[in-house]
Structure 1
Amino acid sequence: MTPVQLDHTAAVLAQMLTFKQPADAVLSAYFREHKKLGRQDRHEIAETAFAALRHFQKISAALDTPQAQPRLAALCALVLGRSANIGGIKDTLRLNEEETDFLGRLKARKTEFSDGLNTAAELPQWLIDALAPHYGEAEILQFGRRINQPAPLDLRVNTLKGKRDKVLAELQAENVRAEATPFSPWGIRLHDKAAFNRHPLFLDGTLEVQDEGSQLLALLLGAKRGEIIVDFCAGAGGKTLAIGAMTANKGRIYAFDVSEKRLANLKPRMTRAGLTNIHPERIGSEHDPRTGRLKGKADRVLVDAPCSGLGTLRRNPDLKYRQSPDTVAKLRQQQHSILSAASELVAAGGRLVYATCSVLPEENEMQAERFLAEHPEFELLDCAGLLHGLKISLDTGRYLRLNTAEHHTDGFFAAVFQRK
């Protein structure tokens, strides 16, 4: 890292560490404002800023107000998160004596940082308190350490445009470190952080970026050609596109979302993927009258509910500090309301999938059990059995429960219901 890159990293962290906006949005806005920064500059700044987020508990233990001392926070990130040698950076970054002494004391405290669970696991106290009723201290520590490692890049092969084996061979021939994902029959995992959005296979719609866990949610929905399908919280449409490929453009897929901007992002992706049977539609809320025309008519309904996102902390480490018990409580109310409203669209014999990218049982199993208690017209299907029927050897029980430590995916949950 150069002194100029360090200055830019400090400027980014001064905004990021307030946790008022998503970290990736802060970084994107900063890079737009500083167009002269080169590729290597951006890489160094981004890696160090995200290292600061991943090690924020330890940095907070060493600095009273990290956001008010962003240069020191950046230096902490280099030592704690990027294994920088103090002697090496002392001259290159022109550190003064006070900064050098501070980093020496920081390194000496490494054993002390392992004493408290919040610093050892790099988790804020509120999240430890939320996990404690359900998991032991060793499980919480393992969770914190696993999600503190950067995620690989998972891709989904669009089966309308290519076959996984052929695409994988093509990537490997380009010396890309790529392998087939162990569970999803569509997935490819990249171990190098490449800028993939300019690759010809991405540009022509053969490949989409999508975590393997997210691909499994689409597989559990089990969409078939000619069916009426609703993606109730479509967002930018990653799972909508996967569902579209499953139906081979036959049938009708409604992509509902409350955000016009997210749906606008879906439209060019549909075109690139060669899909013509998706109908994006903005709704005001889960109770929007426009959904009423589909009441009792949908063969499949997917509810990828708004959630805390705590299963995606490998990619979004700032979420630990942007969520709280209050935000999770509000999300739980919203999830319950959305799931109830979406269930009304399901036809007799139709399938309803409730999913989150959370690791909190309050957002997952407890929501599913509450839904079943309130809706006796639905029954729970066994996720392990459904996956076995698709020749996917993954058994997490009646519910799909994916975790980073065991499955190397983001944390995902799914419950599959069927209207009797």
Structure 2
Amino acid sequence: MSKEERRKKAGAHHSVAERQSRSGGPRVTGLIVDELGKALATVLKLDGPADVLMSRFFRLNHKLGSRDRSIIAEAIFFTLRHLSTIAWQMKPIVPARAPRLTAMVALARIYGRDALDERTVGNDAGPLDNILRSKPENATPFVQSELPYWLYERLNEQFGDEAPALFESMKEGAPLDLRVNLLKAKREEVIAELTEHGVQALPTPMSPDGIRLLTKPGLTSWPIYREGKIDVQDEGSQLIARLVQPKRGEMVCDFCAGAGGKTLALGALMRSTGRLYAFDVNEKRLSGLTPRMRRAGLSNVHPIAIKTERDTRVKRLTGKFDRVLVDAPCSGTGTLRRNPDLRWRMNEEELARINSIQANVLESASRLVKSGGRLVYATCSLLEVENQRVVEAFLSKHPEYEIMDATDVLAKQGVNLPECAKAHAPYFVMAPHQSGTDGFFGAVLVKKEMRQS
């Protein structure tokens, strides 16, 4: 399973908790409290991705049934999404140092205090009830944002009056979006097939290839997935591929391909013609692309692991490409609905380190573009320092490039962005509270035609 697919699966948990909470929720057993406490003791160390740590925990814990696992997973993601207010309620107790008590606080907030019987709570009844008397809505706006202060401050400055709505949206779970593989199916056919199986599915409002599911089925075991007719991909990510707008028979490069979600989208838009190079410095992550491209029916993709962005294999292709996508390494602040732990693991020092890499990667990738070719810089970050500022710095050094209006690029493909997105022109900017997608940024740059003397 790719990282993007794990994110989608992780994002599914929140909506289940909300449904159960509204219906009164389940009775929470002592086993669930104890095992959730053990899981939080590991996850709250924040020394690795929560979905990976959770998978390891469940793999080693065979005594838990599917219902127990579901409740525990719900509560872990709820805790990570609401860790700031939980810590505020528990103060001076530190959640990571009292994982069992933290587990009960989270479960009580999801399902109600009555879901925890007195035998399960035991001697913690007094402390738990005292903690729950502190209502999160009485905390400061910073605490209620559920963000570290450095990130709260930056996003407040950027989004101004819209910041509270953004913060609220990042506490929610993300929808499950699919991209229809146009080589193998049409969107209407896939929606009809999903509907026959009782899955509520709607066309995405912007992406012509997208489907949004109103439920969270285990799609990876279904024939429709195994046959390569669909792939899991956020609508905003699908539109990044549309910014590249690759043509049949062209030379195209996905410079930071990762597990290859956008590579597959590009390959489908090219109708599996031309040559599509997928570069990445992480050989293990890139190796996952091969089975995915076979399932998708793509024969034009060439995955290549490189040592650095200045690898000799990259230099040999200088000036050869019609289109280059730089899906740059970033803070991932646009994906906090799916990766709630990331807000607590990221810091300003790491942001500065990534920021320098972004400039270097864009610089190196730009050399691959031929005269008249297109260069797209993209991130899944909400921060201007990783987005507009990087592009502005690049353009100041490279007069041979000029920026295109991303809104126009998409409009010519039948994609009509909402007015809130058009306001960011010439850039492509998606934010969860505005578009319902993950947070994405894109800039479309064109290398000017060389004039013959």
Q: TM-score over 0.5 for the alignment?
A: yes
d(CA) in 2 for partners of 1:355, 1:48: 33
**Which residue of structure 2 aligns with residue 141 of structure 1?**
164
Task: Give the Cα separation in 2 of the matches to 1:413 and 1:270.
Answer: 25
Query: For residues 249-276 of structure 1, what are the alpha-carbon distances to aligned partners after superposition, in whole Å with 9 as ceiling and x for unaligned?
Result: 1101110001111111111101111111
CA distance in 1, matches of 2:390, 2:406: 16
Q: Distance in 2 between matches of 1:20 and 1:387?
A: 40
Does residue 127 (structure 1) correspond to residue 151 (structure 2)? The answer is yes
In structure 2, what is the equivalent of residue 414 of structure 1?
Answer: 442
- The question of whether the paired residues in 2 share the 8 Å contact of 1:13 and 1:67 is answered with yes
Q: Displacement of 1:2 after TM fit?
A: 2.5
Encode CA deviations 1:313-334: one digit per residue, 9 max, x unaligned.
Answer: 0000111111111111111100
What amino acid sits opposite 2:64 in the alignment? L
**Is the 2:108–2:116 contact (alpha carbons within 8 Å) kept by the matching residues of 1?**
no
Letter aligned with residue 124 of structure 1: P
Q: Please say if 1:10 is aligned against 2:37.
A: yes
Q: Where does residue 152 of structure 1 map in the other structure?
A: 175
Question: 1:405 maps to which residue?
Answer: 433
Amino acid corresponding to residue 221 of structure 1 in structure 2: V
1:200 and 2:226 matched:
no
The answer as to 2:112 corresponding to 1:88 is: no
User: Which runs of structure 2 are paired with 1:19-418 in the superposition (5 Å)?
Assistant: 19-63=46-90, 64-80=93-109, 82=110, 84-91=111-118, 94-96=120-122, 98-110=123-135, 113-136=137-160, 138-394=161-417, 395=422, 396-418=424-446
Structure 2 Cα separation of the partners of residues 363 and 119 of structure 1: 25
Question: Could you state the TM-score of these two structures normalised by the residue count of structure 1?
Answer: 0.96
State the shift of 1:131 in Å.
2.2
Alignment partners' CA distance in 2, 1:292 and 1:35: 51
CA drift of 1:37 comes to 3.2
Note closer, same or farther for the CA distance 1:275–1:387 as it changes in structure 2 (3 Å cut).
same
SS in 1 for 2:116: helix
Equivalent residues of 2:246, 2:252 under 8 A apart: yes
CA root-mean-square deviation: 1.4
Q: Which structure 1 segments of 5+ residues have no match?
A: none
Q: Is the 8 A contact 2:181 2:228 kept in 1?
A: yes
**Shift in Å, 1:193:** 2.0
Contact 1:304 1:355 in 2 (8 A): yes
Q: Is the 8 A contact 1:86 1:100 kept in 2?
A: no
1:86 Cα offset (Å): 1.1
Distance in 2, Cα, partners of 1:328 & 1:75: 34
Q: Is the 8 A contact 1:62 1:106 kept in 2?
A: yes
In the alignment, residue 431 of structure 2 is paired with which amino acid?
A: N
2:202 partner SS: strand
Tell me, yes or no, if the aligned pair for 2:108 and 2:115 is still in contact at 8 Å: no
Partner SS state of residue 157, structure 2 = coil
Letter in 1 for 2:152: I
Conservation of the 8 A alpha-carbon contact between 2:333 and 2:343: yes
| Alpha carbons 1:121, 1:140 under 8 Å: kept | no
| Higher relative contact order (Cα pairs below 8 Å, separated by 6+ residues) | 2
Gaps of 5+ in 2: 1-27, 449-453
2:378–2:442 CA contact under 8 A, matched in 1: yes
Cα distance in 2 for residues equivalent to 1:269 and 1:106: 48
Describe the SS at the equivalent of 1:398. coil
Q: For 1:289 and 1:265, how far apart are their aligned partners in 2?
A: 23
Q: Counterpart amino acid of 1:412?
A: F
Structure 1 CA distance for aligned equivalents of residues 214 and 104 of structure 2: 27
Write the letter of the residue equivalent to 1:72. L
Q: Closer, same or farther in 2 for the Cα pair 1:74/1:166, shift >3 Å?
A: same
> How far apart are the structure 1 equivalents of 2:187 and 2:251?
27
Secondary structure of 2:177's counterpart equals strand
Using structure 2 for the length normalisation, give the TM-score.
0.89
Question: Is the 8 Å Cα contact of residues 319 and 368 (structure 2) preserved in structure 1?
Answer: yes
Q: Kindly tell me: are residues 114 and 361 of structure 1, through their superposed partners in 2, closer, same or farther at Cα, counting changes over 3 Å?
A: farther
Distance (Å, rounded) in 2 between the aligned partners of 1:366 and 1:5 = 47
- Please state how far the C-alpha of 1:36 moved relative to its aligned partner: 4.6
CA distance in 1, matches of 2:63, 2:311: 45
Maintained 8 Å contact 1:121/1:143: no
Identity over aligned pairs, percent: 45
In the TM superposition, what whole-angstrom CA distance separates every residue of 1:105-163 from its partner, at most 9, and x where no partner exists?
A: 2332115x443122211111121122233232x42222111110111111100001100
**Amino acid of the residue matched to residue 24 of structure 1?**
D
Provide the secondary structure at the position in 2 that maps to 1:135. Answer: helix
Distance 2:324 2:170 in 1: 30
> How far is 1:404 from its partner?
0.6
